[in-house]
Amino acid sequence: MSGSSEIFQNNNNPAVDFFLQQPDKSEYENLISSFFDASDDLVFILDKNGYFHFVNQSGLNDLGYSLDELRGKHFFSITNPEEKVKLSNAFQRILQFEGLVYFDCKLTSKLGNVITYDISAKALFGRGSINGMLSVAKNITKQHLLKERYTEILVKYTETERLLSIERNRLRQRKSVLEELNRLKSEFVSNISHEMRTPLASIIGFSETISSDPEMPVGMRKEFNEIIHSEGKRLAKLINDILDISKLESGEIELQRKEIDLVSVIKNAVHHADALASEKNITLRLTVEDQEVKIIGDEERLTQVFNCLLSNAIKFTKSGGRVTVMGQSLYKEYEIIISDTGIGIAQKDLPHIFEKFYRVSKYGNEIPGAGLGLVFSKQVIDLHKGLITVESEEDKGSTFVIKLPKRN
Q: Judge whether residue 375 has pLDDT over 70.
A: yes
- For residue 182, CA distances in Å to 175, 188, 195, 230 come to 10, 10, 20, 33
Q: Residue 353's pLDDT is what? A: 85
Q: Given this model, what pLDDT does residue 358 score?
A: 63
Question: Which class is domain 162-250?
Answer: mainly alpha
Residue (of 238, 232, 328, 320) closest to 284 by Cα position: 320
212-247 pLDDT, tens per residue? 888 888 888 888 888 888 888 878 877 777 777 676
List, by residue range, all CATH 3.30.565.10 domains of the chain: 258-405
* Its pTM surpasses 0.75: no
CATH of domain 258-405: 3.30.565.10
Best-predicted range by mean pLDDT among 43-47, 268-272, 354-358?
268-272
Q: What single letter denotes the amino acid at residue 8?
A: F
What b-and-e string marks burial along 120-134, b requiring 16 or more CB atoms within 10 Å of the CB? ebebbbbeeeebbbb
CA distance 56 to 75: 15
**Which pLDDT band holds residue 33 (cuts at 50, 70, 90)?**
confident
| CATH number for region 4-139 | 3.30.450.20
* Mean pLDDT computed over 364-383: 72
pLDDT of residue 262: 95
pLDDT at 273: 94
Which of the given ranges, 9-18, 32-41, 45-54, 359-368, has the highest pLDDT on average?
Answer: 45-54
End-to-end alpha carbon distance in the chain: 86
Higher-pLDDT residue of 268 and 175 is: 268
Residues of the chain with CATH 3.30.450.20: 4-139
Distance CA 139, CA 150 (A): 19
Contact 392, 345 (CB under 8 A): yes
Is there a contact between 42 and 55 (Cβ–Cβ < 8 Å)? Answer: yes
pLDDT band at 174 (very low <50, low <70, confident <90, very high): confident
Alpha helices in 83-140 (DSSP H): 84-96
> What does the pLDDT look like over 292-343, one tens digit per residue?
999 999 999 999 999 999 999 999 999 999 999 999 999 899 999 999 999 9
pLDDT over threshold 50, residue 365: no
Are the CB atoms for 244 and 254 separated by under 8 Å? no
> Where in the chain is CATH 1.10.287.130?
162-250
Mean pLDDT across the stretch 246-265? 80
